[in-house]
Amino acid sequence: MPTSVYNPPALKKGTLRVIPIGGLGEIGRNMTSFEIDGKILIVDCGVLFPEEHQPGVDLILPDFSPIKDRLDDIVGVVLTHGHEDHIGAVPYLLRLRKDIPLIGSGLTLALVEAKLKEHRIQPYSLTVTEGQKEQLGPFDLEFVAVNHSIPDALAVAIKTDGGTVLATGDFKMDQLPLDGRLTDLREFARLGQEGVDLFLVDSTNADVPGFTPLERSIGPVLEQVISKAPRRVIVASFSSHVHRVQQVLDAAHANGRRVALLGRSMVRNMTIAADLGYLKVPENVLIDYKKAKDIPDDKIVYMSTGSQGEPMAVLSRMANMDHAIEVGEGDTVILASSQIPGNENAIYRVIDGLTKLGANVVHKGNAKVHVSGHAAAGELLYCYNIIKPRNVLPVHGEYRHLVANAKLAIDTGIPEENTILAEDGTVIDLKDGEARVVGQLEIGFVYVDGSSVGEITDADLKDRRILGEEGFISIIVVVEAQTGKVIVGPEIHAKGFAEDDRVFDSVKPKIVQALAEAAKNGVRDPHALSQIVRRTVGRWVNTSYRRRPMIVPLVIEA
């Protein structure tokens, strides 16, 4: 896997350049750039959700730097489906150029447009369906139906003078899908016969043997759990998981319960899905959250966000007793989603919190309340054998998933040298059936923190972690400008380090002594003196307490 950064050569006419901008080595912020003859096509533009070591961060965006100076060359953004890790960063891209055309299915574009409305952006959009063909500049596009955990997902074949690329987006091969919409293997086979030069394949479940279980196997389990629940039922899932919400609505209806949707994104997305006919709401089942409190506890189901332990989501607030719904003895909480890698600790904290409050917490670890939306190894092998691509680029997954996917490709007869293990920013040129790595761009994380985008750096996050884990010490010293002699202080104050500032009495003489030695050596610059104070206190804290707090010294001349 490439690690060193090096610039690619100038792109030759008739050669297709592929750059994964996000989604490799991570589950999220999926985005890929395709360029030929001076024009660029983007596929997907998603977000990544922060982990514990990124305190205060709301979202992580793809690094737009490879295309930021080429915005006018972008002919469109193809969105494969409506999950946040594929559409969540669209508003931030369109802030840079509002008239970039968006291409996607009806539900996908409806979800994006609702999101853009909050950002006061009116997009140019083109709705497409499976089997449809469109031309955008030098790119001939064909859209193929794929099955996923959200309706209306599409794979896209991109035909250019440099070669043909097939990008699956997220998909699986559920043979009995809830909406009857199968992954179109006939189209995959036809494209394979015509010749697929580069296959971009979903890798999320590449290390899982066999086939992903059927989505419809979850319905009876949900119905059974709800039927046995003595009081309220709270189901947490992704706010865009239309199929799971459908199953909850059906299970609640079968048990004579009403359903209230919780969470702004859940209400927004399910309203869109119902209006477009993707969500079939049984009569008199949905009830407004504000009226739900008047329903008996054994006749209500709440459908909420927060299945990944997100701090501000509904379920986490319930676990922290910071929500109007107070979870208690006899309540049943169902986490009807998988664990995104990196979220495990946050999820188990929420489970523990809810359990302490007396709830019966049902999750994937103790009941079959979720199946993945991604193809397992058996399904991927099937695709490789049907399509027989010349080159393979595993995408959408952490490094172990990419490696597992590459191995599957090799097992089906694709030469190892034609199987590309890339990372974000890897530059791949495709021409005459040959795909070559020709560069590696430096790709960073772009953090959204409140209203600021890209202003928070990794250094800022390191400071936040230190503040949160090790505490803060400030030292103020006033020295005589001519002699460097300490005339006031040192005054030492701490937060999150010790209850009593008297613990610093033993280090104050060390500071005075260090400053005296510096003055004797002719050091007068306040910044240099501040660094001496920082090192002196840092050594003392590390030796005495085995800690590394943030130390902020201030030396003032008088």
Q: What positions carry a catalytic annotation?
A: 202, 374
The closest of 99, 95, 148, 144 to 126, measured between CA atoms, is: 99
Asked if residue 525 belongs to a known ligand binding site, the reply is: no
One-letter identity of residue 52: E
> Which residue matches tokens 């050091």?
523
Give me the helices (H) in 300-343, please. Answer: 314-319
- Count of Cβ atoms closer than 10 Å to residue 212 Cβ: 21
What sign for the dihedral angle of Cα 462, 466, 467, 472? negative
Structure tokens that stand for 418 in this block:
């034609």
Is there a binding annotation on residue 56? yes
Q: Is 85 annotated as a binding residue?
A: yes
Q: Is 243 annotated as a binding residue?
A: no
Distance between CA 471 and CA 458 in Å, rounded?
A: 18
User: What DSSP designation does 216 have?
Assistant: G
Element (H, E) at 519: helix 508-520
372 annotated ligand-binding residue: yes
> Is 285 known as a binding-site position?
no
Residue type present at position 376: A
DSSP code, position 281: P
Q: Is 452 annotated as a binding residue?
A: no
Residue 241 labelled as part of a binding site: yes
Q: Are 461 and 471 in contact (CB under 8 A)?
A: no
Is 44 marked as binding a ligand?
Answer: no
Q: How far apart are CA 239 and CA 139, in angstroms?
A: 33
Residue 195 labeled ligand binder: no
**Would the annotation count 207 as a binding residue?**
no
Compute φ and ψ for 365, nearest 5 degrees: -75, -25
Specify whether the CB–CB gap between 260 and 303 falls below 8 A.
yes
- Ligand-binding annotation for 493, yes or no, is no
Contact 266, 303 (CB under 8 A): yes
For residue 454, the 8-state DSSP code is: S
Q: Is 105 annotated as a binding residue?
A: no
Residue 98's alpha-carbon distances to 76, 87, 90, in angstroms, are 11, 15, 10
The reply to whether 86 sits in an annotated binding site is: yes
What's the Cα-to-Cα distance from 13 to each of 10, 139, 160, 406, rounded to whole Å? 10, 14, 11, 29
**What is the Cα gyration radius of the chain?**
28
Q: Is residue 81 a known part of a binding site? A: yes
CA distance linking residue 202 with residue 255, whole number of Å: 37
Q: Assess whether the previous peptide bond of 490 is cis (omega < 30° from 0).
A: yes
Q: Which residues participate in the annotated binding site for substrate?
A: 239-241, 370-374
Q: Which residues participate in the annotated binding site for Zn(2+)?
A: 81, 83, 85-86, 148, 170, 396
Q: Which residues participate in the annotated binding site for Ca(2+)?
A: 56, 58, 449
Q: Which residues participate in the annotated binding site?
A: 56, 58, 81, 83, 85-86, 148, 170, 239-241, 370-374, 396, 449
